[in-house]
Amino acid sequence: MKKNYLFYFTLLFFAAFSIGNAQTQFELKGVVVPRTIEFQDKKLQLNGFGTRTKLFMDMYVQALYLTTLSVDPKEIIESDTEMAIRMQIVSPLVTSQKLTKAFRKGLSNSAGEIVFEKHKTEIDYLISLLGREETKENDFFNLIYNPLDTSIWIYKNDKLEGKVKGFEFKKVLFGNWLSDKPVGEKLKKELLGLE
């Protein structure tokens, strides 16, 4: 009889564990982070997610989605496959002006002066798309790379704002979070699923 109880208990434990691992979304700072996102009939998988913090305050929740999961930042940056960065604003202090200023500064630091200047046209266009409308708390952005047209597709609250061309620019953009000089070391590790 005891063996039967042990068998059923073990069965229930593994069933509960499997259900937990199959969850379709996560939650962080009140933000729902989906396990997958759809793009052009493809399903991108959540690689990792975390919070961008500045001066001890949470600014936005960010997630990295890949075609194939990876913990190698250089491999991700160099990969010519579909991938996405999702950002959801969690602070009322984040405005369009502050967001675009932070993007420009982050890209300048991560790419370096020479690469930044080389891609200034693309960066300026990205900044204009991100700041086209006023940004407020709970707004979210999906920056999705499409290898078919080698463009970053910029979505705000699921509305396509525009596209920024260039595979080399894609590497610069994802380097903002995954390069040797990312906007945040902790966030980099979280996006890689290492924390």
Say if residue 44's pLDDT is above 60. Answer: yes
Task: Over range 44-49, report the average pLDDT.
Answer: 96
Length of the chain: 195
Percent of the chain with pLDDT over 70: 85
Q: Which two tokens stand for residue 134?
A: 């006023």
Q: CB-based contacts of 140: which residues, under 8 Å, 6+ apart?
A: 86, 87, 88, 89, 156, 157
At 137-162, the pLDDT tens digits run 999 999 999 999 999 999 999 999 99
- Report pLDDT for 107: 94
The CATH architecture to which 26-191 belongs is 3-Layer(bba) Sandwich (3.50)
Task: Report the distance separating Cα 108 and Cα 116, nearest Å.
Answer: 6
- DSSP string for 110-129: HH-HHHHHHTHHHHHHHHHH
- Report pLDDT for 58: 79
At 15-36, the pLDDT tens digits run 444 344 456 667 766 778 999 9
